[in-house]
Amino acid sequence: MNDGPLIVQSDKTLLLEVDHPSAPDARKAIAPFAELERSPEHIHTYRLTPLGLWNARAAGHDAEQVVDALLTWSRYAVPHALLDAPVIKGETPVKERQRLFNAFRSGEIGLLVVSKVANFSIDLPSAEVAIQVSGSFGSRQEEAQRLGRLLRPKTEGRSAHFYTIVSRDTVDADFAQNRQRFLAEQGYAYRIIDAGDLTAESG
């Protein structure tokens, strides 16, 4: 627990203590992805919504930045139910990282959110799906490393899948094309799916 001005609740609401000295900085940090719902005198209520998160991604804010903002300014621990998974980032102590990696390997937990710390020297042979939200701009090497860690032989001949989310008409789209070209040269197969097609299929 720290003395942050933000209280993050499991129902995806964020309560900002307006009179807190750090409130302006916290407000600036969450503004790109949280929608203001109510603004009485002392406590302002924000909410995390799919639209708000989508808009943040389109503006260049990746998932790690969203998580960092919540962890930095939250007075209490951010509920795992909100993040839908434990988060491993640069500031995560080594012992905690190992505990979470071991829990994933054993099947105790089935989902992890990781930052770049998972690029190197991480062995998760049971991982079958990776979803990349931020591609580190044009870093073909890092993407190849992530693929290499995911596409290791699985038991019973199971296959693995690697997804990368790219916002249309952004700088990241250009970088993604370069990464895709590199992967094709390395013999990887991929296909591009529009978000509208996914929505139509799910409907």
The first and second tokens of residue 170, run together, are 């952004």
Ordered by start, the domain boundaries in the chain are 6-78, 87-202
Q: Which CATH superfamily is domain 87-202 in?
A: P-loop containing nucleotide triphosphate hydrolases (3.40.50.300)
> pLDDT tens for residues 106-143?
878 777 777 777 666 677 777 777 777 665 555 677 77
* Per-residue pLDDT at 128: 77
Residue 155 pLDDT level (bands cut at 50, 70, 90):
low
pTM for this prediction: 0.49
Note whether 43 and 113 are within 8 A (CB): no
DSSP letter string, 51-100: HHHHHHHHTT--HHHHHHHHHHHBSSPPPHHHHTS-EE-TTS-HHHHHHH
Evaluate if residue 8 carries a pLDDT over 80: yes
> pLDDT tens for residues 23-82?
999 999 999 889 999 998 899 999 988 777 777 777 777 777 788 888 889 998 777 666
DSSP letter string, 7-39: EE-TTSEEEEETTSTTHHHHHHHHTTTEEEEE-
